[in-house]
């Protein structure tokens, strides 16, 4: 259960501080540091600052940096001293269901399609390019390709190689991009990095799913008219901001924190959720603009809608898109051209 439009604003400053302090170490020491463990350690010693609107996010971010900057540095410093990789025993990572988010699905698609900066809006084109490359390789290997097509593929391959081998090519492209869209691109990139943050760092506050489950159950028991002004994310944010953080990066840490949450905090969580429902109903935030990273969720919806149509897969969702894309690529590599033809028809 994902907190789609509710984020803890202190996470980014903590990660920035972890990266800064790790960078100051020698390469040998950097290899010994468990950066994810330090992030979780630090977050568990700092206040939670969840927000559901852009105004709330900006306020919480400012508080995190101005009021808690020294605490962040101190918590990270303590984590750096105490958290080290166990080279003799590899810790079991968090289970996939605990990390499942739309951003994590996109991160997996980036890897599968070989495009580390892939956005949802580029998914259709990226998949099409991949299938075209597979189709062209198959045609070349069997000889079923015209001379004109061979020449086109040769030129395309040359251009790709020349770009990768020309050290000035990428910098020239970057210079042009910066000169044209410097401010806008920079802001957009920051927002996208924020959207993808947890997908890359693989940590979670184990209370999020628990609070969301309790809040959902609480709302189901209410009359439809009574819950019209209430959203799950607002209830969750209110509750989480009044509970201690419980961040984990390993399955062992997850299990330990779950036991503690259920044995020591169950009644507190239920009471806070009920309080949150009353509070949110009295002072709804719905009229305020949502988090700007919600635009990537809109991009996701448009991208998946487009793929559902052209691939004729009405059940495609962000939860299963990774498996579907992987299957399409595998089938195409085995000689099946149905997906290639479907995407070509949609072009």
Q: What are the start-end ranges of the H helices in 83-226?
A: 96-99, 102-112, 123-142, 147-165, 167-201, 207-220
How far is it, in rounded angstroms, from Cα 102 to Cα 300? Answer: 8
How far is it, in rounded angstroms, from Cα 48 to Cα 24? Answer: 27
pLDDT digits over 69-82, tens only?
999 999 999 999 88
Q: Comparing 180 with 113, which gets the higher pLDDT?
A: 113
Pairing of strands 204-205, 247-248: antiparallel
Going from the C-alpha of 204 to that of each of 191, 260, 284, 344, the distances in angstroms are 20, 16, 27, 40
The overall pTM is greater than 0.75: yes
pLDDT digits over 276-295, tens only?
999 998 876 666 788 999 99
pLDDT digits over 175-206, tens only?
433 444 445 568 899 999 999 999 999 999 99
- Of the listed ranges 80-84, 110-114, 163-167, 233-237, the one predicted with least confidence: 163-167
Going from the C-alpha of 109 to that of each of 260, 283, 288, 296, the distances in angstroms are 35, 39, 32, 15
pLDDT at 76: 97
Query: What is the 8-class DSSP label of residue 288?
Result: S
């Amino acid at each position: 259960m994902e907190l789609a439009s509710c984020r803890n604003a202190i996470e980014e400053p903590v990660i920035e501080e972890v990266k800064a302090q790790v960078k100051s170490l020698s390469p040998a020491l950097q290899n010994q540091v468990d950066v994810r463990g330090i992030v979780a350690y630090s977050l568990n010693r700092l206040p939670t600052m969840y927000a559901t609107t852009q105004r709330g996010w900006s306020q919480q971010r400012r508080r995190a940096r101005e009021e808690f900057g020294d605490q962040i540095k101190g918590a990270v410093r303590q984590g750096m001293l105490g958290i080290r990789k166990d080279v003799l025993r590899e810790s079991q990572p968090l289970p996939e269901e605990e990390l499942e988010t739309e951003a994590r699905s996109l991160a997996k698609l980036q890897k599968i399609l070989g495009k580390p900066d892939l956005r949802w809006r580029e998914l259709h084109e990226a998949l099409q390019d991949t299938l075209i490359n597979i189709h062209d390789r198959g045609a070349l290997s069997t000889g079923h390709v015209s001379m004109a097509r061979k020449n086109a593929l040769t030129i395309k391959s040359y251009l790709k190689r020349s770009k990768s081998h020309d050290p000035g090519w990428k910098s020239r492209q970057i210079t042009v991009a910066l000169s044209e869209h410097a401010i806008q691109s920079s802001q957009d990139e920051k927002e996208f990095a924020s959207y993808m943050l947890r997908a890359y760092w693989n940590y979670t506050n184990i209370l999020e799913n628990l609070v969301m489950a309790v809040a959902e159950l609480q709302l189901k028991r209410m009359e439809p008219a009574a819950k019209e002004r209430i959203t799950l994310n607002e209830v969750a944010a209110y509750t989480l901001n009044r509970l201690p953080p419980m961040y984990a990066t390993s399955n062992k840490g997850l299990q330990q924190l779950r036991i503690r949450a259920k044995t020591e905090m169950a009644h507190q969580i239920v009471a806070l959720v009920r309080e949150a429902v009353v509070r949110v109903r009295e002072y709804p935030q719905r009229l305020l603009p949502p988090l700007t990273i919600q635009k990537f969720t809109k991009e996701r919806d448009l991208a998946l809608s487009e793929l559902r149509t052209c691939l004729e897969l009405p059940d495609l969702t962000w939860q299963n898109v990774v498996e579907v894309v992987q299957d399409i690529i595998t089938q195409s590599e085995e000689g099946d051209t149905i997906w290639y033809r479907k995407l070509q028809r949609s072009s």
